[in-house]
Copies of this chain bind each other. A is one copy, B any other.
Amino acid sequence: MLDDRKAAILRAVVEEYIETAQPVGSASVARVPGLSVSSATVRNEMGALERDGYLAQPHTSAGRIPTDKGYRFFVDSLTPTGRLDASQNQQVRTFFNRAHGELERMLSDTSRFLAGLTDYAAVVVRDAEDPARIRSVQLVVLAPRVVLAVVVLASGAIEKRTLELAEDADEMVVGAASARLASHLVGEIFGTSLRLPDSEVPDVDRVVAAAVRSLLPGEEPEYQPQVFIGGAARMAAAFDAVGTIRQVLGILEQQYVLVSLVKDVLDRGLTVAIGGELGVQPLSDCSIVVAPYEIEGEPAGTVGILGPTRMHYEQTLAAVAVVSRRLGQALSKGSEER
């Protein structure tokens, strides 16, 4: 599709534009070692690249900047074996050695860590359909008519639901209900439609039913993917235009947009989505890099980076890949090889 020289020139333009954020002229491309042609030749080629939609000119007599298509070519031509540099690798190692603790905190910490590692905004999405087995179910009375249902999943996640009863709860009844739930639900897959037979005590059954109902998927608004965002402020550093900053931050607060965005990209089988490919106008100057993470071999969520289209793709790809893998490992067992 693109001959070698065009590809090399395009790569050079993208790389320089990523570094400088300035339109790239033919002269500086011609200076790139390994490409021994004159600036005039480069100009001709760049003209062709522009006709083919890989480059654009902000105005006549300015250098070229990559289009989404240009970035796409650049990203696709990256060697898939991106490596982190030594210091970053060290950071990853220390972070995951030190990081303990419970699932949500881990995800939240990871989002912050990843943001610091890449210097872009990081997103960690925990899939709602955590297909984890239930390790424990318990009902706790908080107030006369308020009962908290606490479910511990094998992943270490905790699901909790507040139930409000129609009448004052009897400790004994709740205790019995709790026991019934535990004996029937432990070992089941959370989120599937759980069902258990009636006992002989209607009072108990009522509480049990209320608890089961609250645990059904979609029943409670809280049953949606959890999103952890780290380093949103870095998006403010990535752009100069106040308008862009506002738009991007606005999107970052609409978590459902982010979630569907991330899902979408993964569904399309991509790792990177660039500018317009995101299909969200306010993010037309942004790209995202995503990678799913797995717990015990099961997909459990996604790690991603949101940055400007002119981000450092190679390093970001490597960072996201490494972090998603390590995160999965860290969550799969208490400790892996450490």
Contact = CB atoms under 8 A, between A and B. Distances in A.
Nearest to A233: B249
B253 A334 contact: no
B232 A249 contact: yes
A231 interface: yes
Given A142-B334, A150-B152, A162 B236 contact: no
A191 interface: no
A160 interface: yes
Given A102-B222, A148-B156, A242-B242, 12 more contacts: A105-B222, A135-B141, A135-B142, A136-B140, A138-B150, A142-B154, A146-B156, A150-B152, A150-B158, A156-B162, A236-B246, A249-B249
A161 to B, nearest CB: 7
B335 A164 contact: yes
A183 B240 CA distance: 60
Interface string A251-283: 011000000000000000000000000000000
A100 interface: yes
Contact of A334 (B146, B221, B237, B334): B146
A337 to B, nearest CB: 14
Which of A136, A156, A233, A250 has the most chain B CB atoms closer than 10 A to its own CB?
A: A233
B143 A220 contact: no
A233 B333 CA distance: 37
A145 interface: yes
A102 B148 contact: yes
A245 interface: yes
A101 interface: yes
B221 A233 contact: no
